[in-house]
Structure formats: structure tokens, C-alpha cells
Structure 1
Amino acid sequence: MSPPSYASSSSRRPLGDTANAASLSTDPSTHTKYSAGSPRLQQCPSDISMDGNSRLFTYQEMYHITDGFSPRNLLGEGGFGSVYRGRLPEGKEVAVKQLRDGSGQGEREFQAEVETISRVHHRHLVSLVGYCISDSQRLLVYDFVSNDTLHYHLHGHGRPVLDWTTRVKVATGAAHGIAYLHEDCHPRIIHRDIKSSNILLDHNFDALVADFGLARLALDAVTHVTTRVMGTFGYMAPEYASSGKLTEKSDVFSFGVVLLELMTGRKPVDASRPLGDESLVEWARPLLTRALETGNLEELVDPRLEKNFNEVEMFRMIESAAACIRHSSSKRPRMSQVVRVLDSLADIDLTNGIQPGQSELFNVANTADIRMFQQMVQGNNNLDDSSGFSQYSLISRSRAGAEATSSNSRML
């Protein structure tokens, strides 16, 4: 079995590949140890434990626990850096992310950001254990999550089919984590790289969102407009891909793509598909329209499920995905609204004896959030502003062949 992927790992190297190993395994004796000087930062709400106890590691410690950043311990690589498995002296397994050089951050700014991240604790977010600053090196140490990623379980070769109940559980858990970052943290945190390979799964298949701090660490300006567009092709909101304008609604769009993955079993970008169908979003849009108008879910549902799913739950997830991927960011829901709709799948009977697709009758649903989603989705029969979406369609078609051979292709 291949080693677990971690954080924003977008590719895996064979364990024996020693490419770039020399540059990664720098002699720790050449690095300087810095002392911690944590600024006072506003904590997140007290209903979830916040301790802010980020541990300062030396580069020597990082070098030792990863066996010199050995290729054998490489878990994955992504736009933000490489991730290595390590074990602390007390036996705790961790994932060490070695950030790529060039962030332009000094010691004080990096410490301030790390201390913000370290105060964020939520059952659906991967916890930060500590960090290291040494010369130009910036390293982050996270809890290790053992059951790989949602991407691996959905798209990994030879993997058993992920059952529908687990898919709903993962979607709901990830939504809770993202909503917490957006609305309950101070300052708010925009993830910027929501995707299935950044949703880690524990042994109970509970979802933990990873890399949520790196979006803040890599932002170029507090205005949330950046010329360094960093995300994953196939997941990026059109306004972010085209202009660099970053808001919480950019994450909502990306989460909508994850919902499409869970429903269809397809990758966000698949160059092996027929021309015009490479993009999951483009392929799904007309099918979402038909499903919402007619109640026919068959074209959208992952055939590997063999019809073993709850139709009402699937219909609600279709409504949620359709609302999340609207081209106009202002028309997308907040993540807290998505959470309430997904949560309702578990404990509210929304059918009232009505088959999915009879939209006018579904207006009797007994929550305001369900009605909000229906109005949001049904307010435009095309689900979106087709003229606005055409720009994203052109971006997708022009780059799919060159830049995206899998859902992990990145645009930097």
C-alpha cells in the first residue's frame, strides 16, 4: 500500500527517488536556531479549545525525526512545499511540511501567522503541533492522520468503493471545518486550496481539513487580492483564477467541486474524457439542471455505488453543489448555510412523501436553509450566469490538456 498523502500534496514520488534529496537534506549544523517571540493574538471563540501552544523546533530536530528528510519518509509534494513523515522523541507521529523558499516572510511575521494557526482547534481541522525557523527555512509540524485522503479513497487505483453513508459523513465534516475557519476564527481564515487531497480521513473516516493555515501564510496582501494565484486546477473559483480576487466564496466554489466528486466519483479534471467533458464542473452543470427539474439522478450518480444511496440525501447534495458552484460569488451560500443543509440530511425527513425533483412541492421543507438553497438554485434555470461562466469554460478548455492530467494538476 502506498504511503498516506498529506496536506496539499499534489503528487507522490517513488520512495526510492532521490531527486532533489541533496538540497532537502541540508546539514543541520549550518542552520541557526531562533527563539520564539509570540505576539498577543486574538483567540477564536471559547466553545472550542484554544491553547496557542505552538512548539518551537530546531532544524536539527526536524532533520533527525525525518531521517534527514529521507525520500523514504516523503508523503507528498504540493505548491506550498514537501511533506515528510516523522516521529517525535516521545513517540508521537507527525507530518513535517517544508515550505518552499521565496515566501518573503521574516521571522516575526512567520511567527505571528503560526501563532494564529496554532490557536485554531476543531475536530475537523488538522492540528498544528509546532514550527521551525532556521535561516531561510520555514517548517510546520502537524498531527499525522493515518487513513490517507478523500482523493485517495475516491480515485486511488484498486481502492474499494467508498459507500454513500461515508461520503455524506465526509462532506458534512469537511463543511464544518471550513465554516469554522470562515466564520468563527478571528482573524478569519480563507483556505484557498480546498480539494479532496486536502481532506484527510482518520480511521473512523472522520474528515479533517489540512493546510488551512498556508493560505494566510502565502497571501501577498491583506486586501485578499493576490497576483500569485495558488490553487489546484479544476477547483479554483473563476473570479480567483482570472483576477486573483480571493474571498470566502472562493472556498465555497471549491467545496462545491468536492461535493461533485463525492456524488459522481469523477475527478475535477480528467484529460481521458471526451473533448468538452474534461472539466467536472462543465460536464455536471447541464446534468444538475436536469436533475433538479426532473428528479432524474441517474446521470450524475457514481455508477460504482450501484444505486446504493439515499435519493433524498443525493438530491440535497445536488442542490448544495449547484448553489456552491455558481459563477457569481455573491450568489453562493456561506459555508455555515451549507453545513446546516448537510447536517439536516442526518436527522430531518425532508421528503414529506414527495419524490425528488418536484421542486414546487419541496418548498414545504421545514427549514429556512433548505428553502434558501432551492430559491438560490431554482432562481435561474441555467444554475448560473452563462455569459460569465463562458470565460471560465475557455480557461478550462485551453489548459486542460497542457496542465491537467489529473485532479492534482496545479496552477501557480
Structure 2
Amino acid sequence: MVQKADLVIIGICVGLAAGILIASLVFFGIRWYRKRARLRQRENERSPSTLPIRRNGLNTSVDFSASLSSSVTNGPTEPVQKPQHSWWNNHNKDRFASVSGILRYSYKDIQKGTQNFTTILGQGSFGPVYKATMPAGEVVAVKVLASDSKQGEKEFQTEVSLLARLHHRNLVNLVGYCVDKGQHMLVYEYMSNGSLENLIYNDVEQVLSWEDRVQIALDISHGIDYLHDGAVPPVIHRDLKSANILLDRYMRAKVADFGLSKEELFDGRNSGLKGTYGYIDPMYISTNNFTTKSDVYSFGIILFELITAIHPHKNLMEYVNLASMSLDGVDDIIDSKMTETCNVEEVRSLAKIAHRCLHKTPRKRPSMGEVSQAIVKIKQQRRRLVKEDTMSFVGEDLSRTVSRIECQQLELRRMASIEERPNE
């Protein structure tokens, strides 16, 4: 009887243990399945916006992937992208437009707005850019994907996906897009003062004051700082240059041409060298590893363009390196159009920031947030000097006024004393 009871107890214990084991396996199996489902969902959501893209608006970007990548990496080349527009099937297009809030224009609207594509603003490797007035009256810039554009379909897809979620006052705003009648077009806010490159190097255009140049540098730094530290995940522009900085009617600078931009996902895969000659980080050329500090290097080049008005294609870095041999060497390469009006100390301060951005070791370059703070200090110093000058002027003017009043009072006393003498 005792043996049977023991067997019953043992059976119950074994059953409980087996039940607990099965329940545990089911529980952990469900958790694993849900985790895999979440990861798969995130990958699907992220996939459109992690493609390398390049927007070549009013000026041309150079793609070095074909000519230089073979000399840097021996890895397999990227597969050729299919020309089919599978990403832009009707279901995805309508769903994307409703989620992002970006307008989808018809070919007819853009054709009418551009006066049958005659109001051309510029030409890039992506295709031509036109000025358009849309049905609601807004003025926009329309970038049309040329039929022979290299990597255009890929750029088009990811630029819409990326800019749909990036919103900052110093980034050019994507208004809408058009996929109609076999055409692919991107619609942007119209920047009436064109590119920074044109303003610096075109003698016909207005001369940028030093104050404008400092503000432009600050605007650019804010835009890139947002991409690096404000966007989730962070975004690397990869094609910063003066031609890709556009200015609105208030002369506020906005970063444009996100054609080569990619999210900062370090997956160990290289895509070949891409960028524009003169602005590319030398470390990127030697390692094929592009980071946020590579954007910082390109920004340093733009700062020296603002200071010197010497294009990188015209040996800018040779002038900069020669000037760096002395403490005040930058004074000799200041843009001659503003030498009489700029503050030399401020120019030297901005040149120091640019030199830090161009440091040969990427980790020793400042972040864009640190660059923004340094430029803000230059502006604050300017305001303080202006305030001191104003107070000094007011003080001198007040002193002269008091002195004049005292002289008038003395004159009145003298005249009064003269009038009193005959009565005596």
C-alpha cells in the first residue's frame, strides 16, 4: 500500500514537472516568435529609407563609385538595380502619401505649372529642375528624373522616404512628388536666392556681406547637426558643398540635395566612393568608411569658401595650407569683395573652426553641435561689440549735449549780468 502511494506521488511530481516544462517552452516560444515578428516589421519599415540616395538639384554631383571603388575595396560590386517601378505601385504610393502627408501631383498639374517645362532653373545629373506655379498659387521647384539618369530610380525612392520624416527650418522642404505617365518628379519649396555657390562666385549677383556669411555658416551647421543628432536614426548627408546649400528670400540657408544621404546604420557594408571632388574627406577615400565626421570635413571646406571665395576646384586647400603657416595668414586670403567691411578677428575665429573641421584625424574633429556653438559665440561677440559701440556713441553724444547746455547756461548768466549793470 505504501509502495502504491509512493508511485502515485512520484507520478504526480513527474506530471507537474512535465507540465511546467511544456508551459515554459510554449511561453518562451511565443516570446521568441513575437520578437522575430517585431524585428521583421522594423526591417520592413526601415528598408525604403536606408537606401543610398542622391539629389542633384541645380548643380551636378560626381559619383566616384565606378572609377574609384575598385581601387579601394576588392569586395563584390553592388547588383544593378532593376528599372521596374515596383516600389511605386499604386498601393504603396497611395499608402505612402497618406502616411507622410506629402502631396502627390498629377503630370498635368506640373506640366501647366512649368508652362510645359519651359521655366528651367538648372540641370543636374538627376535631371532638369524647373520653376513652377501650382494650382493653389504656391511657387515650387520641380526636379524631373531624366530617362538616362544613373541610379535615378533608387535616388527618387529614398529621397521621398527620407525627406518625408525629416523636418527642420534649415533643410529644404519636400512639398510633393509625381509618378505619372512614366515620369518621376520631386517637388520642393522654391528658394529664390539660389545656391550659395552662385552667390559666392557669380560676380553679377549681390555681394554677400560678412554678417550674411556668418549667419549662413550657422544655418548650415544647424541643419547638419539636426541630421546627425536630431534625426532617428541619424542621417549622413555625404555630399555637402556650396552648390547644395540654397537660400530663401530672407537669405536663410537650407541644406539640399540629399542624393547621396544614408542613414547611419553601421552594417559593415561599403557602397563605393560617392561625393564631389574637393569636398570629400581624405580619410573616407583611404578607408571607404564614411561617418558624420566626414560631413564635418566637407563643412570645413564650405567655411573656407565663405572666407576666401576660392572654389575647391581652384586649389582652395593649397591657399589654406599656405595661410596656416602664420597666425594671421588667413588675412591674406580673405575675399577681396569684403576686406573693407569684415571684422578680421571674427574671420580668424571662423578660420580656426574650419581648421578644426579639417583635422586629418576624424575623431579629433568637432561634432556639428560643437561647431554651431562656436559660431554662435562669434555672433554673440559681434552683438556685444555693436552694443558697446552704441553705448559709447550714446555716452559721447550725451557728454557733448551736457557740455553744450552748460555753455548756454553760462552765456545766459553773462547776458543777464550785463543787463543788470545799467540799473546799478
Q: TM-score, normalised by structure 2?
A: 0.63
Instruction: Give the aligned partner of residue 296 of structure 2.
Output: 252
Corresponding residue number in structure 2 for 1:337? 370
Give the structure with the larger helix fraction: 2
Range moving further from structure 2, 158-167 or 250-259: 158-167
The 2-side partners of 1:158 and 1:85 are apart by 21
Please give the residue correspondences for 1:315-334 in structure 2 after superposition, counting only pairs within 5 Å: 315-334=348-367
Letter in 2 for 1:120: L
Look up the match of 1:81: 127
Partner of 1:284: 320
CA distance in 2, matches of 1:86, 1:40: 21
2: CA distance between counterparts of 1:131 and 1:156? Answer: 31
Q: Report the equivalent of 2:178.
A: 132
* Aligned counterparts of 1:324 and 1:203: Cα–Cα separation in 2: 29
Query: Are residues 1:197 and 2:243 paired?
Result: yes
1:103 aligns with 2:139: no
- 2:347 maps to a residue whose letter is M
Query: Aligned partners of 2:300 and 2:179: how far apart in 1?
Result: 36
Alpha-carbon offset, residue 266 of structure 1: 1.1
**Aligned mates of 1:202, 1:239 — CA distance in 2:** 33
User: Map of 1:314-393 to 2, 5 A cutoff?
Assistant: 314-348=347-381
Q: Distance in 1 between matches of 2:323 and 2:276?
A: 24
In the alignment, the residues of structure 2 paired with residue 304 and residue 268 of structure 1 have an alpha-carbon distance, to the nearest angstrom, of: 18
Q: Which amino acid aligns with 1:153?
A: L
CA distance 1:225–1:69, change in 2 (3 Å): farther
The 3 A distance-change label for structure 1 pair 238 and 112 is: closer
Q: Per the alignment, do residues 223 and 110 of structure 1 end up closer, same or farther by CA in structure 2, a change over 3 Å counting? A: farther
Question: 155-164 or 339-348: which moved more?
Answer: 155-164
Q: CA deviation at 1:39?
A: 6.0
Larger Rg: 2
Q: Deviations over 1:266-313 (max 9, x none)?
A: 11112xxxxxxxx212321231242xxx33542131222134222332
- Aligned residue among 342, 355, 374 for 1:309: 342
SS in 2 for 1:234: coil
Q: Which residue of 2 aligns with 1:371?
A: none
The equivalent of 1:239 in structure 2 is: 283
Output the CA distance in 2 between the equivalents of 1:301 and 1:156.
17
Structure 2, unaligned runs of 5 or more: 1-54, 61-87, 386-424
Name 2:58's counterpart in structure 1: 9
1:343-388 CA deviation, whole Å, 9 max, x = no partner?
1111148999xxxxxxxxxxxxxxxxxxxxxxxxxxxxxxxxxxxx
Aligned equivalents of 2:175, 2:313: Cα separation in 1: 33
- CA offset at residue 318 of structure 1? 0.8
Quick check: 230-239 or 254-263, which moved more? 230-239
Q: Is the 8 A contact 1:39 1:112 kept in 2?
A: no
Q: Please report how far the alpha carbon of residue 55 of structure 1 lies from its aligned counterpart in structure 2 after TM superposition.
A: 1.2
Q: CA deviation at 1:129?
A: 0.4
Tell me by how many angstroms 1:222 deviates: 6.3
1:116 Cα deviation after fit = 3.2
Q: Which residue of 1 aligns with 2:333?
A: 300
SS in 2 for 1:120: coil
1:249/1:205 Cα in 2 relative to 1: closer, same or farther (>3 Å)? same
1:259-274 equivalent positions in 2, closer than 5 A: 259-270=303-314
Q: Secondary structure at the match of 1:346?
A: helix
- Give the aligned length: 301
Q: Which residue of structure 1 lines up, in the alignment, with residue 169 of structure 2?
A: 123
Q: 1:197 to 1:129 in 2, by over 3 A?
A: same
Cα distance change of structure 1 residues 40 and 97 upon mapping to structure 2, 3 Å threshold: closer
Give me the whole-angstrom Cα distance separating, in 1, the residues matched to 2:216 and 2:382: 20
* Change over 3 Å in CA distance of 1:39–1:149 after alignment to 2: closer
Q: 1:221 to 1:139 in 2, by over 3 A?
A: farther
CA contact (8 A) 2:143 2:186 kept: yes
The residue aligned with 2:214 is 168
Change (3 A) 1:90 1:37: closer
- Call closer, same or farther: CA 1:93–1:257 in 2, change over 3 Å: same
Partners of 2:144 and 2:184 within 8 A in 1: yes
Distance 1:260 1:144 in 2: 27
Moved over 6 A (4+): 217-222, 349-352
